[in-house]
Structure 1
Amino acid sequence: MTYGWNSSRGAYRQPYALDSLKKLKETGSEWIALSFYTYQTNVYSTDIPFDYGHTMTDRDIEHAVKHAKALGLKVCLKPVVNSADGIWRAHIGFPNESAAEPYWDAWFRSYGNFLCHYAELAEELGCEMLCIGCEMVRTEGKTAHWIALIDRVRQIYGGPITYNANHGTEEGVEWFDRVDLIGTSAYYPVAKRPGDSEEAMIANWLPVKEKMARLHAKFGKPIAFIEIGCRSALGCATMPWDYDTLDLPYSEEEQANFYGSVLKSFWDEPWFAGFFWWDWSVNLYPLQAAGTDVGFDIYGKKAERILKEWYAKSRSYAQA
């Protein structure tokens, strides 16, 4: 599960956060992606400052990691840079021409400083994985910069690293040979209409699976969905990335079909490493509100029951 997203500093250390983490563990999940963000001023900025008003402190992160580990959860630390102007982080970058190279150099220097701070923290806290970027689409073509950044990170952090590409752009990342795990945000629109069946979604996962198999064959790395999920709202499986269309009617069935379809499609693939579901809130709604919540959370919904069944089956196989 992704845990911690869109939480302000201090939230990880609240009593409700520990209660939420315990409920996350009860799903049978073995990992969390502890995901938080800071801001750069706009998509053309070359400096990534620490936001003292919002960004999680190291003390917050240490608290969350220690409690997750105490529950038996492994942690992928996932620091993210967003743009304060509201433009999606995929557009962070500069023109691809020689005159813009000083801007690229400055941004990667600042991003490297940002990332190495958290690489050091991940090493000190014993995090089992580090995600070095999320959906930074416009930067992905700067292969030399990314290779140098990965080399810098590996001097600090000794565990496996991954990068979180965006669905549809995975095949454009030429430096995936430098990471240990190829990751993507798998918000593929596998439903063709609102209320589509699980069987229809399974059929639409097939070309995605074929593409992921090619990616694995090209780089020899396992594939993971570092983000994947669907809101419990009618029509959201046609646009799983959607988070702000709030007038859609509640539908736990569509969310459950999305979960069931991707589990059935990828579970037995030997090159597939697993899922970080999007997402599990630090401050959960009350259980009695599950039937009206149209967000990504699965707590108290049919998708949670499906996930628990799959994960319980996995544990029983492992013990056999």
Structure 2
Amino acid sequence: MKEIFVKGMTYGWNTTRGAYRTEEAVESMKKLKATGSEWIALSFFTFQETFSSTEIIFDYGHTMTDRDIEFAVLKAKELGLKVCLKPVVNTRDGLWRARIGFPADASVYWEKWFSSYTNFLLHYAELAEELGCEMFCVGCEMINTESRIAEWEEVIYVVRNVYHGPLIYNANHGKEDGVAWFDKVDIIGTSAYFPVAEDGDASEETMIKNWRKVRDKMYLLHKKFNKPILFVEIGCRSAKGCAEMPWDFLHTELPFDEEEQANFYSSVLKVFWDEPWFAGFFWWDWKTKLYPTEDAKLDVDFNIHGKKAELVLQEWYKKDVKVFS
């Protein structure tokens, strides 16, 4: 039987301190709830200076405060939404967090970094426990650190001492096999930005064919660790060609295409919805400040508000999840 199925959405990414506590953010969360979502991944970040820094800092000009997080969590609960708290470390030099790391033999640097990361994570794990968050994410797309098995197992061990709900780790698509310690978390997460369109063919049929290949690989991952799989990030911009590169956020010149985005949503929902080992979706992403609904066709970003993909998701999120025994 499925113990958990997340009908979710990532909320509030790439915003600065105070942004959760605005009237427009509250209204945005209400519109998120109207998609049929039952969960939010409350995802925010702080910095380390470079990919090779050993200290993670609280940036008083950027990082969400505990008061911001408490406000957002309590507002979500007021609306009937469950919360996965997802603190993330980015690099101020602009390199993707997957590059964070040091040479294999640089043990003193690894020790310093994991000490700082553990302190960072424990702060938010304690907050998640106090606020009653229903899930906690221990890391996101940190590919160059994932081979440090003993260090990650220790991180998860100490987090479990302060947070007693389910833990998830967010790997990156195609890199899941590099996480040998998935047995230590409760749910296997991945950023499922798999390229499912091909050579300009963004039909739903082509995407379904390619999602089935992904499904088969995810099933093997599930069997290896006997853990449910959750797409803790997944999405596609409403721009032509983006289903071939769903991770893309840079090519803002691409023309608006809500059909391609809607096909991306529909195809993966059809392939994964009834799989007994599959634990759901946190779609990427829903902003704290929404564009006016009438301007939806001017937006080529990930948000689905006012677009065809929103209607697709609403229909699926109305459905019951099939129970397996």
Q: Corresponding residue for 1:269? A: 275
SS in 2 for 1:163: strand
Q: Which amino acid aligns with 1:153?
A: V
Q: Secondary structure at the match of 2:306?
A: coil
Determine which of 163, 167, 175 is the counterpart of 1:161: 167
Which contiguous aligned blocks of 4+ residues in structure 1 show a shift greater than 2 angstroms?
none
The 3-state SS of whatever aligns with 1:27 is coil
Paired residues, number: 315
The offset of 1:237, in angstroms, is 0.2
Instruction: Determine whether 1:121 maps to 2:127.
Output: yes
**Which residue of 2 is the match for residue 243 of structure 1?**
249
List runs of 5+ in structure 1 lacking aligned partners: none
SS of alignment partner, residue 80 of structure 1: strand
Q: Deviations over 1:170-195 (max 9, x none)?
A: 01100000000000000000000335
- For the residues of structure 1 that align with 2:289 and 2:199, how far apart are their CA atoms? 32
Greater alpha carbon shift after TM alignment, 206-215 vs 226-235: 206-215
- Work out whether 1:34 is the aligned partner of 2:42: yes
Residue 175 (1) aligns with residue 181 (2): yes
Structure 2 residue 221 is the aligned partner of structure 1 residue 218: no
CA distance in structure 2 between the aligned counterparts of 1:4 and 1:291, rounded to whole angstroms: 21
Whole-angstrom distance in 2 between the partners of 1:77 and 1:272: 20
Work out whether 1:96 is the aligned partner of 2:104: yes
Structure 2: where are the runs of 5+ without partners?
1-8
272-281 or 192-201, larger mean C-alpha shift: 192-201
1:297 to 286, 291, 303: 303
2:72 is the counterpart of 1:64: yes
In angstroms, what is the RMSD of aligned CA positions? 1.0
Deviation string, structure 1 residues 143-186 (Cα, Å, up to 9, x no partner): 00000000000000010000000000001100000000000000
Aligned equivalent of 1:232 = 238
Distance 2:288 2:138 in 1: 22
Single out whichever of 252-261 and 187-196 deviates more from structure 2. 187-196
**What corresponds to 1:314 in structure 2?**
320
Who is 2:153 aligned against? 147
Name the % identity.
67
1:21 aligns with 2:29: yes
> Does structure 2 conserve the Cα–Cα contact (< 8 Å) formed by 1:194 and 1:236?
no
Is structure 2 residue 24 aligned with structure 1 residue 6?
no
Which structure ranks higher in relative contact order (CA pairs < 8 Å, sequence separation ≥ 6)?
2
TM-score normalised per structure 1: 0.97
Amino acid at match of 1:276: F
